[in-house]
Amino acid sequence: MTGRASRRSWLIWFTAAIVYLLSVFHRTSFGVAGLEAADRFGVGAAALSTFTVLQVGVYAAMQIPTGVLVDRFGPRKVLTAALLFLGLGQILVAVADTYALGLLARGVLGFGDALTFVSVLRLIAAHFPGRQYAVVTSFTTAIGFLGNLAATVPLTLLLAGPGWTPTFLAAGLVTAIYSAVVAGRVRDTPAGATPKAGPVHARELARQVRTAWRVPGTRLGFWVHFSTMFAPNVLTLLWGVPFLVQGQGRPAATASALLTVFVFGSMIGGPLVGSIISARPGARMPLVLGYLAGAAVVWAVLLSWPGQIPVGVLVPAFAFLSLGGPASMIGFALARDYNPLSRVGTATGVVNVGGFVATTVTALVVGVLLQLTGGQFRVALLAVVALLALGTFRMLVWWLRARAELFAAQERGEHVPVQVRRHVWDAPARKVPQPA
């Protein structure tokens, strides 16, 4: 698409972005409801972490199938279905009084959540020119974090007031009703037509996924997403409030207020990062490396601080960690640049799996370690540091391999997405092993 997007396209995007806002609200609601959930279902830390592990695990598993569904049926229908599943899941959360039913409810929420972001990205690609893609995507994530904001102090107050069932029941009903708005207003393309794709066979889908995974740029995007987004996710989705209340002795209201730092940091950082990488694609990896180095320092400070960590330390620490969400968007830009258009959807789904796999593993390990250590958060949160180190190492490996591919392409006179210069740490392209 070339030229400028119409006002109608902006309205369609905004309608779809509200779906993403709702999905983020439902996804992060256990970030402040975790303690209430533990009392309601009578479970400990390890069982509590299973709620998030299940939901995020379903989300991660559904990313590639969601791309296929969007190609086959169009984003309008998929977003409508997403709202119905999200509404149903939250209604089940409202009435659940057993651990098993609570798990089922969070699984349904994870399924609905999984259908949203890829669908909105497809709408952006159809309605906006390429030069606006990164910026509009960053605006989308910023709007999504308003849902995260609603799932902090406002949700805490509602849970303390009307209570569990009225709060989540109302949220589920509002979400389901909004599906009628999406069905009526959203159009898959500026012309209104829904692109039709042929039937997708399992063997062909597997071949596409393998092909996308073999591309060093896709693998680099996966590990960028893996490394940058999981730590803030683990805190905002589940363990932030328990860490601050049980581990740091903060009141619940103070803890939920501190989590809003993640929201505002991401809302400001998203458009800023999107603007920078749109204007200077070569700045993408330096931004990621700078964030990961800073995150390592932040976690070292948080986990080694003697006694209660002052608010004056927590706020800037959380503000910096919040930039992991915006930085993870760089993974999608890498997938788009290093794959042909016919494979970009699959590659985007592969990249999006990265951060949510890391979130799932870390949330579960933190819960298990809390159970084994009797609630020692300083020990349990070392799981975050371990995954951060693993992700950073693998990202560096694939960054060098992706650079080697670029050098080889430049030497052949081919078009490359970013011009790079060889440094002392770059191995000659012929010596770089081919990806398995």
Sequence-distant (≥ 6) Cβ neighbours of residue 162 within 8 angstroms: none
User: Hey, what domains does the chain have and what are their CATH numbers?
Assistant: 7-190+200-412+424-431 (1.20.1250.20)
Find out whether 221 and 327 touch, Cβ atoms under 8 Å: no
pLDDT reported for residue 192: 65
Angle of helix 45-61 versus helix 99-114 axis, rounded to 10: 30
Q: What is the pLDDT of residues 77-99, one digit of tens each?
A: 999 999 999 999 999 999 998 99
More confident residue, 128 or 115: 115
User: b vs e for 272-291, b when ≥16 Cβ sit within 10 Å of the residue's Cβ?
Assistant: ebbebbbeebeebbebbbeb
Q: What is the pLDDT of residues 132-168, one digit of tens each?
A: 777 888 888 888 878 877 887 788 888 888 889 999 9
Proportion of the chain above pLDDT 90, given as a percent: 38
d(CA 245, CA 251): 6
| pLDDT of residue 314 exceeding 90 | yes
The conformation of residue 247, written as its DSSP 8-state character, comes to I
d(CA 321, CA 324): 6
d(CA 289, CA 292): 5
Q: What is the pLDDT of residues 235-261, one digit of tens each?
A: 887 788 889 999 999 988 888 888 889
Q: Give the best-scoring range by mean pLDDT among 56-65, 117-126, 281-290, 387-396.
A: 387-396
- Positive or negative, the CA dihedral 182, 188, 193, 198 is negative
Number of CB atoms found within 10 A of residue 129's CB = 13
d(CA 303, CA 283): 30
How many CA atoms are closer than 13 Å to the CA of 156, on its beta-carbon side?
Answer: 18
Q: Considering only CA atoms, which of 167, 159, 38 is closest in space to residue 95?
A: 167
Q: Which residue has the tokens 């609603």?
A: 150
pTM: 0.78
Category of 426 on φ-ψ map: left (φ > 0), alpha (ψ -120 to 50) or beta: beta
